[in-house]
Each structure stands twice: as structure tokens, then as C-alpha cells.
Amino acid sequence: MTLIIKLRNMPQDISPIIKPDELIKLNHNIALILIDASNGNGAKENYNVEHLDGALYVDLNTQLANINADVSIGGRHPLPTLEQFSETLMSLGITPTSHVVVYDDKNGSNAAARFWWMLNSAGHQKVQVLDGGFQAAIKAGFPTNSKIEIPLKKEPYKIENWLLPLADIYEIDKVAQDTDFLVVDVRDEERYNGEKEPIDLVAGHIPGAINIPFTTNLDSNGFFLSPEELKNNYLKEFEDKAAKNVIVHCGSGVTACHTLLAIAYAGLEIPKLYVGSWSEWSRNNRPTATSKKK
């Protein structure tokens, strides 16, 4: 049974995670808006070949980010403007009363969790991420097709501000090595250690940041750990630090949202997101650190 929670800084009162069998029941009972947020090489082509029945596609690079030619300004995936995101929601037929379920092909670490965070931060009441993603839904028997999906209706979606907490590079400058704060890097251990860097120009991590790979949010089958397990894990890592003193980042502000989603699923207050993340930090002559392999 999915835990239903209400968080102090999250507007919805439904679980941020929905199981495949719950989605199948929900799909039979109410009209919902299903979003495929898979991204990367061939993602749109894969969507065109097969997607969950009724799912609309959202593109990370063009709809969930406002990419600059100069990556040092905001990193690889800066947030879009409020106006741009409003246009995206309208194009998908999402209204303030819509029940949105979003999935990708990497259990939220692709862009589903990023879309979840953005919708929540826009004040949307009903948005959930599909546990196990595309593959789990198919295994559970959710139908798929390759047809062109058309939004049911398009209405303006007014967004006044991002409601969830954000941090910028200047705040990181001040608090990264302050013991009253905690900066969390969710990239894999090899990237954090500086042993490899397949995407950005410099290997390593922000001095003072700790490493909690987003993959630790999942069990051996690729599903989220239970809310109780996640809560215990993060309370242990955060010790007695308030959410406002915890900042989460990754490479470009996308997979960090997977950890924020896990924290929300645990029933804990959502920490700050540093959207620019390592891609911005490492391009701005900031100090970097590496760690020896254990």
C-alpha cells in the first residue's frame, strides 16, 4: 500500500510515487494525463515506436530546460522561465486540476523526477512518478501503442513563482564547507571521486560535498525503497540538519530531482535544489576536489 503524505513545502497530498498496478486501476477509473519524459539519444524515436497508451511526450532539453550556449551560466539544464514552462503545460493539456502521472525509461532518473519537481514547484496539486518506469508498466500489463497522442484540451496555466527551495552558485560558495550545512552530490561514486567524467569538462566534486548516489534510492529490482527505509537512510545522513540547510545537486540539476523525489516519498521536507550543479560549478573557476578510491 502506498504511503500518503503531506509535506510542509509540497502542495500535493497524494503520494509522489505511484505503483504500476495503481496506475492501471487509476487509468480505468478517472481521466488522467500521462507523460513520457524519457530523454537521451533516440528517446523520442523510441516513444514514437512504443509508449504507454495515451502518454504525451515531454522533451528535457526544449521543454524542461532553457539551455544557454554558455554552459557556465546555469549549467547544462537551467530551469525554463515561468512563462516557458506555462507554455509547455498548456501544450500538454495540463490544467491546475489535472492528475498527472509521469514516467521515463530510467525510473525517474531520466527526466520524470525533474518534471515532477517542476510541477510541484509550480504549485500543482496532483502529480506522481511511476515506480519502475516504462518497463514496469508494460510488465504489469499497461497497454502501449505507437499512435500520435493529442492533448484533450489546452488552457493557459498561470505560474507565479517556483515554490520549492532553490540554491545558486553563490550560496554554494558560502556554505559548502560550513558544518551547519550539507551539500549532497547524487552522481555515481566514480564521478564524485574524480575517477571519470564522461559529460563535463572537469572531474571531481564540490569541496565539502558528500556523495549519496541517487541509485541508493532504489532496490535491486529498480524500484524505490519503502518510505520507511528512505526516511531512515536520509535522517541518518542529514543528522539534525534542517531541510533549508541541505542542498542537493548532480551534474545538471536533473537526477538530483530523483533524490528530492525519494526524500518527498519518505515524508521528509524537500531540501534545496542547486540546478546549475557540477556542470556550472566546474566551469566557473571554483575549487574542486577528488577522492581516493576506497
Catalytic, out of 250, 260, 262, 275: 250
- pTM for this one? 0.94
pLDDT-based confidence at residue 99 (cuts at 50, 70, 90): very high
**Which part of the chain is CATH 3.40.250.10?**
17-145, 166-281
pLDDT-based confidence at residue 293 (cuts at 50, 70, 90): low
**pLDDT of 5 strictly over 50:** no
pLDDT of residue 7: 38
**pLDDT of 294 strictly over 80:** no
257 is catalytic: no
Per-residue pLDDT, averaged over 254-273, amounts to 98
- 167, 191, 180: which is closest to 248 by C-alpha? 167
5-19, 48-62, 229-243: range with lowest mean pLDDT: 5-19
Average pLDDT score over the chain = 93
Q: Which CATH architecture has domain 166-281?
A: 3-Layer(aba) Sandwich (3.40)
**pLDDT of 43 strictly over 60:** yes
Domain at 17-145, CATH class: alpha beta
Per-residue pLDDT, averaged over 75-79, amounts to 98
